[in-house]
Amino acid sequence: MRVAILSDVHGNPIALDAVLADLTAAGGADAHWVLGDLAALGYDPLGAMERLLALPNARFTRGNTDRLTLDGVDLETAATVLRSRPDRLANLLGLSASFGWTRGALRTAHLDHLASLSLELRETLPDGTRVLGVHAAPGTDDGPGIHPAQSDEELGALLADADADLVFTGHTHWPVDRTVGGVRAVNLGSVSNPVGDDLRAKYVLLHADESGYELERRYVAYDNAAVLRAIAATRHPSADYLALFMRGEREPDWRGEG
C-alpha cells in the first residue's frame, strides 16, 4: 500500500505538476489523500482543481480556504481579528476579494465538490494503525493548527480526541513529525505558498503493509519565478500577498492563516 499525501495546493498547478512528476519518478502511488486548501489563494484555481479531481483513487478533506471560497469571510471573524490585530485590515480585505475571485474562476461542478468535502478522512492500515487525515487539527479545518512552536502539552491537547494512532495535517505549511501521548502527528508541509525560505513543494509518501508503515518525506523544487509571472498575468486581487510566499518572504506566525 502506497499513498501520496499532500495538502495546501492553493490553486498552484505549477507546484502540483512538479509534485505529481516527482511522484511518478518515485514509482507512483495506489491512492492519493489531499488534505484541503485546494483552490483558493492561487493564480489558477481551475487548473489545480482539474488536476486534483483527475487523480486516481483520490480522497479529500476540507480546508479553511475551501470553506471560505464558498462562504466568504464572515463579519464576526473579521471583527475578532481586527480587535486584536488592527494592522490586518488590508490583509483581510485582500483575502476576502481573493475568495470571491476564486469562486468566480471555478465551475459549478468544482464548487459542488468543495461543498461536498468532509472534515476528515479515516483509514486503518494493514498493520492495524488507525489513521486520521484532517486539514488543521482533529475536529477543525482552521485555527492555529499543528506547528513546531507548540509544547507537548499544547500538542497533546489537540490530539486528545483524535481517536487515531497517526494523524496527518497541513494548514500551517510547516513540516512536523512528533509523537505525544502515543499519537504521532505529521504535518505534511504544503505543496504551495511556502512559509520561510524553503520554497520547495512538500508531500509525504506512506508505505504500509502487515508488518508496519514508513513515511517518506518528499521535497520538490519547482519554477517559483514562473508562478510569480503567472500571478502577475492573472491580475490576482491578492497578488502582492501571494508574491511574499513565492519569494520566501512569508514567515510563520502560527495564527492559523494557512
pLDDT in tens, the chain (258 residues): 999 999 999 999 999 999 999 999 999 999 999 999 999 999 999 999 999 999 999 999 999 999 999 997 655 554 444 454 555 545 655 577 889 999 999 999 999 999 999 999 999 999 999 999 999 999 999 999 999 999 999 999 999 999 999 999 999 999 999 999 999 999 999 999 999 999 999 999 999 999 999 999 999 999 999 999 999 999 899 999 899 999 999 887 654 444
Please say whether the beta carbons of 115 and 67 come within 8 A. Answer: no
- Number of domains composing the chain: 1
C-alpha cell at 258: 494557512
* DSSP percent split of the chain into helix, strand, coil, nearest 5: 35, 20, 40
What one-letter code names the amino acid at 39? A
The whole-number pLDDT of residue 256 equals: 43
In a domain, 254, yes or no: no
Please say whether the beta carbons of 7 and 191 come within 8 A. Answer: yes
In a domain, 94, yes or no: yes
Please say whether the beta carbons of 122 and 164 come within 8 A. Answer: yes
* Neighbour count for residue 146 (Cβ, 10 Å): 27
Contacts 24+ apart (CB under 8 A), 101-104: 101/236, 101/237, 102/11, 102/39, 102/40, 102/41, 102/42, 102/45, 102/69, 103/69, 103/70
19 to 5, 184, 243, 258: CA distances (angstroms): 11, 24, 20, 19
> Which DSSP state fits 200?
S
- Strand, helix or coil at 49? helix
Please say whether the beta carbons of 166 and 184 come within 8 A. Answer: yes
In a domain, 163, yes or no: yes
The whole-number pLDDT of residue 72 equals: 77
In a domain, 257, yes or no: no
The whole-number pLDDT of residue 257 equals: 43
Domain containing 118 — which CATH number?
3.60.21.10
Residue 55 CA to residue 189 CA, distance in Å, equals 20
The whole-number pLDDT of residue 73 equals: 63
In a domain, 92, yes or no: yes
The whole-number pLDDT of residue 223 equals: 97
**Strand partners of residue 173:** none
The whole-number pLDDT of residue 89 equals: 47
Please say whether the beta carbons of 35 and 69 come within 8 A. Answer: no
Pairing assessment for the beta strands 166-169 and 58-60 based on DSSP bridges? unpaired
Please say whether the beta carbons of 42 and 11 come within 8 A. Answer: yes
* Neighbour count for residue 107 (Cβ, 10 Å): 11
The whole-number pLDDT of residue 255 equals: 47
In a domain, 258, yes or no: no
- Strand, helix or coil at 134? strand
The whole-number pLDDT of residue 139 equals: 98
Pairing assessment for the beta strands 212-220 and 201-209 based on DSSP bridges? antiparallel
Q: Which strands sit side by side in the sheet containing 120-124, from one edge to the other?
A: 120-124, 130-134, 166-169, 183-187, 176-180
232 to 15, 43, 142, 240, 241: CA distances (angstroms): 17, 9, 28, 9, 12
In a domain, 137, yes or no: yes
In a domain, 256, yes or no: no
Structural domain boundaries, residue 181: 2-246
